Structure 1
Amino acid sequence: MQYNWQNLNWEKFKFDDSVIDSLCIDFALETGELKGLVDSLPTEVQQETILQFMISEAVKTSEIEGEFFSREDVMSSIKKNLGIGDAVGQIRDKKAQGIGKLMVTVRNSYSEKLTEFIIKEWHAILMEYSKRVNPGEYRSGVEPMQIVSGSFGKEIIHFEAPPSTQVPAEMQKFINWYNDFEVKPTDIKRALIKTSISHLYFESIHPFEDGNGRIGRTIAKKCLSESLNRPVLMSISSTIEQNKKQYYESLKQAQKTLDITHWILYFSTLILESQKNAKQIVLFTLNKTKFIDRFKKQMNDRQSKAVLKMFESGISGFQGGMTVLKYVSINKTSRATATRDLQDLTIKNILIPKGEGRNRSYDLNLLS
C-alpha cells in the first residue's frame, strides 16, 4: 500500500475548496455570535469560560488516546499555570500536570511563529512524566512506526509513517509549508483549509514515539487561532471524541492520497460543530454564574462547596448526582449533617431529589 508521504513533493496536496463554501458562511455566523456573547460577559465570567474550554480540551484530547484524567486534576494544573494559586488543589496524577500546562502554554503563545523548537517544547511539556518516551525528542528507532489494531497475529496496519531517519527533514518541510501558508484574519476559507491540512500533514509524519495525536490536535487549534488572529474558544477534541471511529477512518483514507478534498470537508465540518458546541458551554457558564449569584446567600459554606463541586463537571453534569456519601466526602462532615444540608437545599429549590432510600441522589435545579 502506498501512503501520501511516499509520493514526490507530497506536501503539495490537491483539493477542491468549493466544498466548504457554504460551511464558511455558517462558521462566520457562529464564530461572530460566540464572540459577541463572550465579549458581553463580565471579566470574571469570561475567565471562567476560558477555563472550562481548556479543561474540556485537555480531558478529551487525552481520552481519545486512552488516557483518563479527572477534571479536578486537570483544572488544578491549568489554574496553577494561569497563576490562580489560591484555588489550586493537590494534583494526584502527575501526567495531568503536563496536559494542563500545555493548554495554557499554547493559548498564551498562539500568535508566535511555529518552529520545530516550539513543537518539541510542547511534547516535552506533555510527556514530562512519561517513562516510555524521550520528551521533546523525535523518534529514532529502526522499527517501522505503524498504526495498528487487532489482536496478536491478526493485526491490521492502518498507516505506516516515514522512517525515523526521514523525520527531521520531513518536519523541516512541514514547518516551511506552515509558515509559507499565509492567511488573512478575515479569510475564513483559507483558515479552515490550513488548519485541516496542518493536522493531516503532522499526523502523517508522526514524528514522536507517543503523543502525536495530542500534539497534532494542538497544532490544529494553534493554527486556527493564529489564522483568525485570536485564541479560539472551542474544544475540537470533544467533538472528535463523540465519533472517534469516523475521525480515524477519515484520517486513514486521507493518508492514502494527495487529493484531500474529502478530508478538508470532514475536518472543517468538525471545526464548525466544535464552534456550535462552544456556544452551549458559554451559556452553561453564564447560567452557572447566575445560579450562584441567586443562591449564594441562602447556602452555608458546606452547601456552597458541594454545589460548586457539582458545577465543576461542566455541561455533562455531575455523574450520578450528589449523594449523602459524596457530600460527606467533599465536606468531611457527618452523615447527619450531610442529610440535613441536602434536605435544606431541596426545600430552597437549589437541588432536585430523585430516587428513594439508598438510591436517593440530587441534581442541580438549573430550571429554577
Structure 2
Amino acid sequence: MTCSTTLKPWIWQHAAWPRFTYEARALESLLGEARIQHDRVARKLKESGACAGALAQAFFVDEAIATAAIEGERLPADAVRSAVARRFGGQPAICGVDRRIDGLVEMLTDASLNVDRPLDHARLCRWQAALFPNGISGLQRIAVGRYRDHEEPMQIVSGRPGREVVHYQAPAYGDGGFLGGLNAEKYMKMTGVSKATATRDLTDMAAAGQLRVHGAGKAARYYVEVPGWTHGIA
C-alpha cells in the first residue's frame, strides 16, 4: 500500500525514545487552571441537580464516535447511545446490537474507569479483540487477541482507497518480534541514538524483562519477551 504520510519521525524514531521528559514548571499553571475549571463544573453540576450518570453516558457516546472518526469511520449515534446505555444501565437494545460498537464502548469504559489496573499484555490483547470481534478489519482477516505475526509493519491508516494517509507506523516486526532479532545497530537506525545509548537501553529493557537476550557481545540479539513466543530460537 502506498500512502501519503507526515514528514515528522515516528515516536520510536525520536532521539529521546523511550525516555521522554517534561518540564513540571511549564505545566503548573495549566494544571492549576484545570483544577479551577473542574471545581466550577462540579459545583454547577451539584447546583443544577443534573444526573452524573447521564453526563457520563453522554461523554462515552461522544468519545466512541470521535475515536472511530480518527480512522475515518462514522458510527451511527443511535447505535452508540444504545451500546452505552446497555453498558451502564442494562437497557434493552434501542436499534439492534453491533458487536463492533459494543467492543469499542467496552474498551473505552475499561480504559477510563479502571485506570489503576496494570496495562499488561493480556489487557491490551483483550482491548484489541474487543475492537475486532469478527477477526476482520475492512476486507482483511487479521489476528485478534494476540500480537501480530506478519512481516509488514503495523500502520494506522485513514482515508479513501488510493488516498490513504498513514498516521502511525510501528517498527518492522515479524515472526513475533524483530526479524533476526534486535541488536544495537538496528536500534540506532530506528531511534537515532548513539551506540552507547542503544546498548544501555537494550540492556535495561532486558533487565526489566521486556526483552530476552540470545548470545553475547556483538552477537547478542534481543527479542520481545512474550509468553509462548519462541522466536525460532532455543
Q: Give 1:136 shift.
A: 2.2
Aligned to 2:57: 51
Aligned to 2:45: 38
Answer whether contact 2:65 2:77 (CA < 8 A) is retained.
yes
Structure 1 residue 67 corresponds to structure 2 residue 73: yes
Structure 1 residue 82 corresponds to structure 2 residue 91: no
| Structure 1 gap ranges (5+) | 177-368
Structure 1 residue 161 corresponds to structure 2 residue 170: yes
CA distance in 2, matches of 1:151, 1:65: 10
What's the RMSD between the two structures over aligned residues?
3.7
Question: For the structure 1 residues 104 and 13, does the alpha-carbon distance in structure 2 shift closer, same or farther, using more than 3 Å as the test?
Answer: closer
Question: For the structure 1 residues 15 and 104, does the alpha-carbon distance in structure 2 shift closer, same or farther, using more than 3 Å as the test?
Answer: closer
- Secondary structure at 2:123's aligned position in 1? helix
Structure 1 residue 5 corresponds to structure 2 residue 12: yes
Amino acid at match of 1:54: F
Q: Higher strand share goes to which structure?
A: 2
Structure-to-structure mapping, 1:305-316, within 5 angstroms: none
CA distance in 1, matches of 2:125, 2:86: 22
Aligned to 2:114: 109
Answer whether contact 1:55 1:71 (CA < 8 A) is retained.
yes
CA distance in 1, matches of 2:165, 2:84: 38
The aligned length equals 169
- Secondary structure at 1:85's aligned position in 2? coil
- Secondary structure at 2:143's aligned position in 1? coil
Determine what percentage of the aligned residue pairs are the same residue.
Answer: 23
Match of 2:145 among 104, 126, 136: 136
Deviations 1:62-115 (A, max 9, x none): 1121111111111111121224325x3132544222222223333442332322
Answer whether contact 1:148 1:156 (CA < 8 A) is retained.
yes
Aligned to 1:23: 30
Deviations 1:248-272 (A, max 9, x none): xxxxxxxxxxxxxxxxxxxxxxxxx
CA distance in 1, matches of 2:103, 2:90: 17
Output the TM-score relative to the length of structure 2.
Answer: 0.57
CA distance in 1, matches of 2:53, 2:83: 15
Answer whether contact 1:82 1:104 (CA < 8 A) is retained.
no
Q: Give 1:10 shift.
A: 2.2
Q: Give 1:123 shift.
A: 1.7
Deviations 1:142-179 (A, max 9, x none): 1133467899999887654222215xx99xx6xx8xxx
Question: For the structure 1 residues 160 and 47, does the alpha-carbon distance in structure 2 shift closer, same or farther, using more than 3 Å as the test?
Answer: closer
Q: Give 1:27 shift.
A: 1.0
CA distance in 2, matches of 1:2, 1:122: 27
CA distance in 2, matches of 1:50, 1:129: 28
Answer whether contact 2:71 2:156 (CA < 8 A) is retained.
no
CA distance in 1, matches of 2:42, 2:51: 14
Output the TM-score relative to the length of structure 1.
Answer: 0.39
Amino acid at match of 2:101: A
Aligned to 1:100: 105
Question: For the structure 1 residues 16 and 129, does the alpha-carbon distance in structure 2 shift closer, same or farther, using more than 3 Å as the test?
Answer: same
Q: Give 1:119 shift.
A: 1.9
Q: Higher helix share goes to which structure?
A: 1
Answer whether contact 2:154 2:170 (CA < 8 A) is retained.
yes
CA distance in 1, matches of 2:169, 2:34: 34
Question: For the structure 1 residues 155 and 34, does the alpha-carbon distance in structure 2 shift closer, same or farther, using more than 3 Å as the test?
Answer: closer
Question: For the structure 1 residues 83 and 158, does the alpha-carbon distance in structure 2 shift closer, same or farther, using more than 3 Å as the test?
Answer: closer
Question: For the structure 1 residues 153 and 58, does the alpha-carbon distance in structure 2 shift closer, same or farther, using more than 3 Å as the test?
Answer: closer
CA distance in 2, matches of 1:104, 1:147: 22
CA distance in 2, matches of 1:36, 1:89: 33
- Secondary structure at 2:18's aligned position in 1? coil
Answer whether contact 2:157 2:164 (CA < 8 A) is retained.
yes
Amino acid at match of 2:95: Q
CA distance in 1, matches of 2:121, 2:165: 32
Answer whether contact 1:95 1:130 (CA < 8 A) is retained.
no
Question: For the structure 1 residues 78 and 8, does the alpha-carbon distance in structure 2 shift closer, same or farther, using more than 3 Å as the test?
Answer: same
Structure 1 residue 121 corresponds to structure 2 residue 126: yes
Q: Give 1:53 shift.
A: 0.6
Answer whether contact 2:154 2:169 (CA < 8 A) is retained.
yes
Answer whether contact 2:132 2:144 (CA < 8 A) is retained.
yes
